[in-house]
Structure 1
Amino acid sequence: MKYDLTATVNRNRVPEVTVQFWLIKLMAVTMGETAADYLAVNLGLGLTATSLMMGAVLIVALVWQFLQRRYVPPVYWIAVVLISIVGTLVTDNLVDNFGVALQSTAIAFTIALIVTFAVWYASERTLSIHSIRTTRREAFYWLAILFTFALGTAVGDLVAEVFALGYLTTGVLFGAIIGAIALAYYGLGMNAILAFWLAYIFTRPLGASFGDLLSQPTEYGGLGFGTIVTSLLFLASIAGLVAHMTIVHKPVDVKFDEPSQI
C-alpha cells in the first residue's frame, strides 16, 4: 500500500491488546455485575429505572467516545464500564422482568453476536480491532461489545445458578476456558481475531462470577463483602490503571490513502 503524506490522519480508536487491557477489562466486567446489582437492588431503583438511567448515561458516554476519533484511555474505559453495566441489565431485564429463560437468553445473544460479526465482516472484510479507524467500524465494534457482555452475563448466570455450580467453580471453569484459548493461540496457531473475541466473551462470565463471589452474602455462596465495597474496590483499581495508561499512552499517527479499506 502506498502512503500519501497529504492523506487524512487516521488513528485506531480502541486500545492495543496488552496485559493491562485484559486486567482492566476483567475488572470492568466484575464491576459491571456488582454495580448493576447495587443500583437495582441495594438502592432500590429497580431494574427498569436503573436500566433507563444507565442506558441514557451510556449513550452520552458513547457519543463522547465517537467524538474523539482516536483512543483516549479515560473516555474509552468509561464507555466500557458503562456498557458492562448496561449489558448486565439487559440480560437481567429479560430474565427477571420478562421471564425469558437463561438458556433462551444465551441462545438469543449468541445469534445476535454472530449476526453482528457477519454483517460487520460483509461490510468491512475484517473483524480486527487493530483497524477501528472509521465511525462505521467503531459502531460495529461497540455493538459487538454490548452483545458480548449480555451473552456473558447470561452464560455465567446459567452455569452458576441454573446448573448450580456456584460462583467459585464457575469462575474457575471460565478461567480454564480462557487458558485453553490462550494455549490454542500461542501454541497451536489459532487465528488471532477468533482468539481475541472468544477470550473477550468468556472474560465476562469469569469477572461476573468472581464479582458475585465477593459481593453476595455467605448464605448465597458469596464472601459477603457487599456490592458497595466490591464496586469501589474495582473502580479504584480501574482508575489507577487508566491513569497510568493515560500518562504513558502516545497515539501513533498513520496516514492512509483510503481509510475505509484498512
Structure 2
Amino acid sequence: MKRFEETQTTILNVEDETMTRSLLNKVPEVTIFFWIIKIMATTVGETAADFLNFNLHWGLSNTTIIMTVLLMGTLYLQFKKRQYVPWVYWLTVVLISVVGTLFTDNLVDNYGVSLVTTTVIFAIATIVAFSAWYISERTLSIHSIFTMKREIFYWTAILFTFALGTAAGDLLSEGLGLGYALSGIIFALMIIAITIGYYAFKLNSVVAFWMVYILTRPLGASLGDFLSQSHKNGGLGLGTVGTSILFLCTILGLVTYLTATKKDQVFAK
C-alpha cells in the first residue's frame, strides 16, 4: 500500500511538472523579433485607432466598445491555450495596443482630461498593477507566467503600459510641442540608456525589461504619428491606412516565420 501511494505521488509530481513546463510557454522569449514586433504593434495601435475613429467615422466611443469586445475574445483564446501560440499572443498585443490608445484618447478628447493628467493617471495605474503583481507573486519575471493569476497580472500591466505610453508620447510630441520625430528620438535615447545600464552596469534584468517595454510604447506611437501624419503636421504623410497595412503585413510575416521556426519558444530547464 505504501509503495502504491509513493507511485501515485510520483505520477502526480510528474504531471505537475509537465503542466508547469507546458504553461510556462504562455509568453515568447525576449529576442530581437520580440522587440521588432512589439514596436510595430504599438505603431499599429496608434494608427489603427486613428483610422477606425476618423477614416471610418466610427467615433471614439463606438471604436472603443468594438475593439474592447474583440480584445476580450482574443484574451479568452489566449487564456484557453496551454502554451504560447504566436498568432494568438501577438493578435492580443495588437488589440490591447489599440484599446490602450483608445482609453487615453477618450479621456483627452471626450472628457477633456489634459495629457499631463492622463499621463499621471496611467503612470499611477501602471505602478499599482506592477505592485499588486509583485506583492501577490513575488516576481515580475515574464518567464514565470505559468498560472492564470500571473497571466491576468501580466495582461493588466501591459494594458496600462500601452495607455501610459500613448499619453506620454502625445504629451511630448503635442502637449509640449516637440514634434513626433524629436519625441521618438528622445524615447529611443532613453531605451539606449537603459540598455547600456543593463549590459554595462548590471541593471536588474526584470526592471530593465519592463522599463524598455513601457518606453517602446511612446516610441512606437511617435513613429506611427510621424509616418502617418501630414507634412504640415510634421509627419511623412503616409496616412493611417498605408502605415497600418505596412506594419501589419510585416508583423504577419514575422509571426509566420516564428511559428515555423519556433525561435521565440521558451522551454523550461
Asked whether the two chains share a fold, i.e. TM above 0.5, the reply is: yes
Hey, what's the Cα distance between the residues in 2 that align with 1:111 and 1:190? 23
Q: Who is 2:234 aligned against? A: 221
The reply on whether 1:165 has 2:178 as its aligned counterpart is: yes
TM-score (norm 1): 0.94
Deviation by residue 1:57-101 (Cα, 9 ceiling, x = unmatched):
000000010000211000000000000000000000000001111
Deviation by residue 1:181-227 (Cα, 9 ceiling, x = unmatched):
10000111000111000000000010110110110111111111100
Q: Who is 1:17 aligned against? A: 30
Please say if residues 74 and 91 of structure 2, whose CA atoms lie closer than 8 Å, have aligned partners that are also in contact: yes
The reply on whether 1:249 has 2:268 as its aligned counterpart is: no
Deviation by residue 1:144-178 (Cα, 9 ceiling, x = unmatched):
00000000000000000011000000000100000
Hey, what's the Cα distance between the residues in 1 that align with 2:96 and 2:124? 19
Hey, what's the Cα distance between the residues in 2 that align with 1:69 and 1:93? 35
Of structures 1 and 2, the larger Rg is shown by 2
Q: Who is 2:14 aligned against? A: 5
Deviation by residue 1:97-126 (Cα, 9 ceiling, x = unmatched):
011111010111111111111111111010
Structure 2: runs of 5 or more not aligned: 1-9
Deviation at 1:253, TM superposition (A): 6.0
**3-state SS of 2:14 partner:** coil
TM-score (norm 2): 0.92
Q: Who is 1:83 aligned against? A: 96
Please say if residues 69 and 133 of structure 1, whose CA atoms lie closer than 8 Å, have aligned partners that are also in contact: no
Pairwise CA RMSD: 1.6
Q: Identity of paired residues, percent?
A: 56
Which structure ranks higher in relative contact order (CA pairs < 8 Å, sequence separation ≥ 6)? 1
The reply on whether 1:26 has 2:39 as its aligned counterpart is: yes
The one-letter code sitting in structure 2 at the alignment partner of 1:99 is G
Mapping 1:21-60, distance limit 5 Å: 21-60=34-73
Please say if residues 29 and 266 of structure 2, whose CA atoms lie closer than 8 Å, have aligned partners that are also in contact: no
The one-letter code sitting in structure 1 at the alignment partner of 2:62 is A
**Of 116, 125, 130, which aligns to 2:143?**
130
Q: Who is 2:4 aligned against? A: none
Q: Who is 1:102 aligned against? A: 115
| Matched residue count | 254
Q: Who is 1:119 aligned against? A: 132
